Structure 1
Amino acid sequence: MPERLAEMLLDLWTPLIILWITLPPCIYMAPMNQSQVLMSGSPLELNSLSEEQRILSRSKRGWVWNQMFVLEEFSGPEPILVGRLHTDLDPGSKKIKYILSGDGAGTIFQINDITGDIHAIKRLDREEKAEYTLTAQAVDWETNKPLEPPSEFIIKVQDINDNAPEFLNGPYHATVPEMSILGTSVTNVTATDADDPVYGNSAKLVYSILEGQPYFSIEPETAIIKTALPNMDREAKEEYLVVIQAKDMGGHSGGLSGTTTLTVTLSDVNDNPPKFAQSLYHFSVPEDVILGTAIGRVKANDQDIGENAQSSYDIIDGDGTALFEITSDAQAQDGIIRLRKPLDFETKKSYTLKLEAANVHTDPRFSSRGPFKDTATVKIVVEDADEPPVFSSPTYLLEVHENAALNSVIGQVTARDPDITASPIRFSIDRHTDLERQFNINADDGKLTLATPLDRELSVWHNITIIATEIRNHSQISRVPVAIKVLDVNDNAPEFASEYEAFLCENGKPGQVIQTVSAMDKDEPKNGHYFLYSLLPEMVNNPNFTIKKNEDNSLSILAKHNGFNRQKQEVYLLPIIISDSGNPPLSSTSTLTIRVCGCSNDGVVQSCNVEAYVLPIGLSMGALIAILACIILLLVIVVLFVTLRRHKNEPLIIKDDEDVRENIIRYDDEGGGEEDTEAFDIATLQNPDGINGFLPPLCP
């Protein structure tokens, strides 16, 4: 141990001594007094110098020292000498006093003010503080006046190997795929050393594995950890503990070291095929099981985990491939066999299936090991069950004419018992679907008959349900829907689509269409409706009207002449015969009412009232009302005029014997002269257009 300490001290102090000897001193240009100037040159020469030259010609004086070092963690009975301050102004007469200030002055570093020796009085730690900046000053011992300007210098703390490497992020965890090749990188770890990395080997680290061999290796300088064995199998061992050491001093003896642990987990790869737990499975199922029911489960085990263990199941062969299917349960990794189609014990009593389980995810690196799949055989036995009756058809469609006779047979349904016992069947109608009891069924043979008359125009379709029940076991029943369509029979005559009423203008023109009518028929012929229109035989030569068939199956009524007169005849009745195209055809007679009306010149109907003809002087009711309104308005104006005039010329108090109404009557007796005759145009009263509904203006 003493030898080791001496070796360490030698390593530390050797460069310090070399630096102390070789480094040049720092030079400070001290100002020169007049005596110094005289010593350096003659007065004549001095007078000839400029101020700048005088300054440059001053003698060179200044501090003399090197950069100082102190060894960390050094402790002894006496303070350690760090270095000495000295200025060339010091002649050794002890008239100069040295002063130290800055980092640690007086607390960590102490100076002899006479000799300039600096001592470290405390133990130093480079990892806490690597260097100290101090200021040195030389002053006159008696006057304390500065002899030199203050100057900074640095004391560096010299490192020793007093810190062991540390793994700050440990312990570590890493994964590497199983079956990896030799030298596959796992991870890398890093240790830190607080010692000085640029001085010596105190912080130079070398890594090694203390535990975890021969499975893993580590690169000494980079700390990269790799696999040392190929094809490590997760199914054999999944987790490994590796102890890693970091040693400073380049790994040499005497260095400090630190350790950490690394847990390496082998991640799974798909290197194992699925394997059925057994090669033969047996299941039994009743023949009346519901479609989609799970019949049984099979399982193929896989030593891998996660998605590498996922397997898909298929039926690859057998006589039941059409009746059964298999699906995969992703959670349990099972194969579930389900029924796709109904079973019939009487037809086939057992089935054989060949199943295959294969990995969903494969790894091509291991394809050379063979197919990652396995097969197994499944035997399924069908058990007999008491089944309900089976109809010969899942639905029935029957047709019947609406004029069919009561108790006539509409159609027939059939059903049988699929069991070996073959129980007889009884048929009935579900009366909830035939509330009006329009149909009956023969309980023994399933023939449907008509119970009440049918009318297609009321209902085209009748939907009922037939029930088949086993006589030996009434709990075994089946139902089947039966749709009955009522076929049309031509039993309805056509008629007008609505109640039509036509209007004929007195001033209409010959050939003018008075009205267009259409017909309807409640029946529904196969080729659509086609109507024939005609007049009554006695009306064929009608002098007033004629008819015209249109392409859209409608009928137009036309006037044969003009000059119709409401005063002579206000209403005309025109019977029209409408026939359909049925077999046999049916027809009906519909009567069209035609009213004669007064119209405007452009054919707009204005009045259809015949009483307008009996008004005095041939005026229409509208014209008469307009004339009376003008007269009343004129009388009101006259009354207001007279009243205002009397109020202006006479006192406000009206005498008892005076009556305003008397004045108005007196005015009427006198007449208005030309003003009254111009109140309205007399010629308007004789205008023939007034007969057709034109009204004179209310006022001139």
Structure 2
Amino acid sequence: MAIWVKLPRSSGPVLLFLSLGLLLEAWAGKILYSVPEETEKGFFVGNIASDLGLQSQELAERGVRIVSRSRTQLFALNPRSGSLVTAGRIDREQLCAQSERCLVSFNILVQDKMKLFPVEVEIIDINDNTPQFQLEEVEFKMNEITTPGTRIPLPFGQDLDVGMNSLQSYQLSSNSHFSLDVQQGTDGFPHPEMVLQSPLDREEEAVHHLLLTASDGGNPVHSGTLRIRVQVVDANDNPPEFTQAQYHVSVPENVPLGTRLLIVKATDPDEGANGEVTYSFHNIDQKVAQIFQLDSYTGEISNKEPLDFEEYQIYPMEIQAQDGAGLMARTKVLIKVLDINDNAPEVTVTSVTTAVPENFPPETIVALISVHDQDSGDNGRITCSIPGNLPFKLEKLVDNYYRLVTERTLDRELTSGYNITVTATDQGTPTLSTETHISLQVTDVNDNPPAFPKDSYFTYIPENNPRGASIFSVTAHDPDSDENSRVTYSLAEYTFLGAPLSSYLSINSDTGVLYALRSFDYEQLQELELRVTAHDSGDPPLSSNVSLSIFLLDQNDN
């Protein structure tokens, strides 16, 4: 077979006749073809038989076939025509994405000679893709005080084609406020920007609608569009304003945790974030901040800790309202805590006497008592009382002080001690009360002389009685105590028949027993009259007397 080769310039074309073996041995270059993408199956790529120096019928005889590592065969050999054709539709973008050149490489194997011939087919891009934006519409918000010259980067369009078939230009719909500026980016792609040309006025036009068109350079030209919505945002020229200059609320101190106590409300006529108000505490005591919770969006104030009237009767606080752009307003809140009767009265015995003599006069001060109730109003108004059957009374002094005094003279012999219950009761609903007890000992004074059960005694004894015999006993009782009640006895001195009484009789000073000191003789003495005195040991001592008649009984002794 003959092929044309180029000789040096001094020589002209020469037709050489070489055998096929010599041709295949001499072949060293690649075979290069090109084919447009998206062609139908069987589309002619090149005459491979001719380029290999073979006749078309020799392809089958010599076992010529395509050898490729690719799983998908994009090309095939037509054994009748000796041509290389497409094996199906080829999508360049799927095969090579956006690479500048899209080459498909494979080898042609001549089986009988065991020779491989490399082949490259370039897939030529066609304008089969339209520029597209990822979104159909974008929205921007611009404050009406935005300075002209402000740039807004716009989304990029995308075109899967390459070269002139790819995205080449942008165009913005006509608008008196905006223009389009396209800059070449460092990545080599055009970057569209929208530029504000003149000031915006929300009151004149609140929304601007524009259309951005991206076009490629193909023939025919393909284009895609993006709708742009520019919302003009109101300038923050109005601060929030509270509905009240000061908020008041009264709540009982036993209100449950988490109760909504109050709602503050501030309004802002601006739009968007400029009119969105959030609430916060301002200049608030740390203790108060621990007790209350403020919802920053609703302005609701609730309690997260128990309220205590006795600790705070009024909780003052300042609330700040702020819009999205930072304008602020403040208001005062006063939460008044209403007292409930949750505290019983407190009773303190400031001074007390534990013992008083029974001869103390009425109005003697026994104790000084202080009462206090942490509650207020009727809940803290206290009355004190003691049982009515006692010889005492309570007298109210200033500042909730009371004194306990004797109402009459005490008598230890009737009652030696008192356990006085002082009850302090508030006037709340329900009432609460507290009791305290005062023990008082009544000490004895020597106000009772010894007393004999009878006004006089008499007794009979037989004559001739033995000496030292006990003939009678008297007993006196003294209701006093201790030394005041210890009784001693004595006989008043008399003279009988020229002899003193003490020579006839004696009395035991401790027991009151009378003893005969001699034997009596009826024939000489028939009767003895004497007086017994009982003394107590008080200071001064008290005494009493009783008369005793002793009658002698005659015995037949003569």
TM-score by length of 2: 0.44
Structure whose residues are more often strand by fraction: 2
TM-score by length of 1: 0.37
Structure whose residues are more often helix by fraction: 1
